Amino acid sequence: MSFCPECGTALTLKPLKNEGMIPFCENCREYRFPAFNTAVSLIVLSPDKSEILLIQQYGRHDNILVAGYVNKGESAENAAVRELKEETGLNVISLEYNRSEYFPRTNTLMLNFTCVADSRSLDGLNTGEVDAAEWFAPSLAREKIRPESLAKRFLLYYLDEKKNKL
Ligand SMILES: [Zn+2]
């Protein structure tokens, strides 16, 4: 059972055309689609696009992609630029949407982008948030990224499906 985020009334399921059974608030007379989080993750390319940045966080030694939640009211594009700056000190020169996937464990829709960074320098790394960061050639990034992860699926999609068509 879930409750209306506006008025707290218990929601009931009501049919909605082409959508199936959707939670409905009898008090507000509004459908209340289930809420989820939105985050961005980034395949960060070096300025010459020859290398990919992988990071390690939270005391773990898995190599992952730079990622972060989208703030309420913020665009995904802005979140991507902001997160790269906050975590690595790097600026985004260009940004392109890659693909998305829902991550059930954190109830998050993850939007993956590819971006080109303005520098290879990691002097501005936010060591409070990122334990380590390293540039890898694409063939090595493919091997080094955390196995069985959403980050790996995004990276492989980019390298195998998208990169050649750009
Ligand atoms: Zn309500």
Reported as a single tens digit per residue, the pLDDT across 40-93 is: 999 999 999 999 999 999 999 999 999 999 999 999 999 999 999 999 999 999
**Same structural domain for residues 3 and 55?**
no
Please report, for the domain that includes residue 138, its CATH number.
Answer: 3.90.79.10
Residue 164's pLDDT band (boundaries 50, 70, 90)?
low
Q: Is a pLDDT exceeding 90 seen at residue 3?
A: yes
Which DSSP state fits 81? H
The model's pTM is 0.89
Enumerate residues 6+ apart whose C-beta is below 8 A from 94: 115, 116
**Same structural domain for residues 78 and 12?**
no
DSSP letter for each residue of 90-149: PPEEEEEEEEEEEEGGGTEEEEEEEEEES-S--TT--TTT-SEEEEE-HHHHHHHBPTT-
**Same structural domain for residues 41 and 73?**
yes
Give me ligand 1 centre to Cα 107, in Å: 22
State the burial class of residue 4 (Cβ atoms within 10 Å of its Cβ: 0-12, 13-18, 19+).
middle
Range of the domain at 4: 1-35
**Same structural domain for residues 27 and 41?**
no
Residue 157's pLDDT band (boundaries 50, 70, 90)?
very high
Give me ligand 1 centre to Cα 108, in Å: 24
Give me ligand 1 centre to Cα 115, in Å: 41
Give me ligand 1 centre to Cα 12, in Å: 11
- Separation CA 3–CA 7 (nearest Å): 8
**Same structural domain for residues 105 and 44?**
yes
Give me ligand 1 centre to Cα 37, in Å: 21
**Same structural domain for residues 13 and 87?**
no
**Same structural domain for residues 67 and 56?**
yes
Give me ligand 1 centre to Cα 123, in Å: 50
- What's the pLDDT at 162? 81
**Same structural domain for residues 103 and 54?**
yes
Total structural domains in the chain? 2
**Same structural domain for residues 122 and 97?**
yes
**Same structural domain for residues 102 and 156?**
yes
Q: Residues for the chain: how many in total?
A: 166
